[in-house]
Amino acid sequence: MRSTAHQPAAAAGWDVARPPGPGRTAGVRIAGFRDRSAGPVEGPLFPHPAVTLVVAFGEGSLVVADAGGRHQGGSFVAGLVTGAAGMRGEKVMCLEVRLSPVVARAVLGVCPAELEGAVVALDDVWGRDAARLREQLGGATSWQERFALAEASLARRSKTGPSVDPEVARAWDRIAVSHGRIRVEELAAEVGWSRKRLWSRFGSQIGLPPKRAARLVRFDHAVHRLAVGESPARVAAEGGYVDQSHLHRDVMAFTGVTPSTVAGKPWLAADDLAWAQHGVSDVD
């Protein structure tokens, strides 16, 4: 593993690999995970503002339970969700893809809204392509080779899949750039739509209505600031919350635990390493 951030990931029980630079497809990010624990692993998976695609390969086991209590083993897709999920497994080895909701429709071939917040088997979405990619990843000898295989598959699918409305893409980008601190009325005015039309088109193509999407983005920004040691008071004041109790309620609603508990979760260390903006790491 090549990374100056090796220790946080190791403390979380995972080796993490990332591609050396930007991927071939805008809005698509990839990371590789390998479980280093001596026995079974189990833990929460917090919501984040991306559609998640996980390809599990190798001899290990992986089972994810979504916020509705539905269980899915092996490779899966999860749309935008607003509640914590859980995972358990042993000797897990997987490649995770985080898709911007703007490109998820093209890559998946279905609208994220059709996932209805559930964890769905990747085979049910991609058909034979899922098994083909899984076999290729399992036969590869390095993470860099796996990344190349995955990026080629994702790029090919993104070119043939349906796109979202330009107005929807612009609205999502504004939500992301503002860290969720923008009102629906402002979004509608910027894209030239009525509030009702934006609400309908955005929700049907992204998977959440714009207000809930903004709340999810705001939460994601806040929880990662908490994870690096910033105080709840500061995060609340600078993150668009009315006060600290507002932040507390929001974190509880998304995760079921308090801000201080969230900040101590080791998974966030591996998460921050996997999705850092720059750098390279590899494990073999």
Residues 7-18 pLDDT 10s: 344 446 788 899
pTM, two decimal places: 0.88
- What is the structure's pLDDT at 201? 97
Would you say 280 and 18 are in contact if contact means Cβ atoms under 8 Å apart? yes
Give domain limits for the chain.
6-163, 166-263
pLDDT of residue 62 exceeding 50, the answer is yes
> For position 275, what pLDDT does the model report?
72
Q: Are 4 and 273 in contact (CB under 8 A)?
A: no
Burial of 4 (0-12, 13-18, 19+ CB in 10 A): exposed
In the CATH hierarchy, which top-level class contains the domain 166-263? mainly alpha
pLDDT at 161: 81
Residue indicated by tokens 């805008």: 26
Q: How far apart are CA 69 and CA 194, in angstroms?
A: 36
Helix (H) or strand (E) holding 45: strand 41-45
Confidence check: pLDDT of 276 > 90: no
Q: Evaluate if residue 72 carries a pLDDT over 80.
A: yes
5-226-262-220 Cα dihedral, nearest 10 degrees? -90
Check residue 3 and give its pLDDT: 33
Average pLDDT over residues 191-199: 97
Q: What is the pLDDT of residue 24?
A: 84
pLDDT digits (tens, 9 = 90+) for 218-227: 999 999 899 8
Check pLDDT > 50 for residue 279.
no
CATH 2.60.120.10, applies to 6-163: yes
Distance of CA 14 to the CA centre of its chain: 17
Amino acid letter, residue 227: A
Is 224 in contact with 274 (CB distance < 8 Å)? no
With 70 as the cut, is the pLDDT of residue 6 above it? no
Integer angstrom CA distances of residue 87 from 18, 31, 121, 125: 21, 17, 15, 21
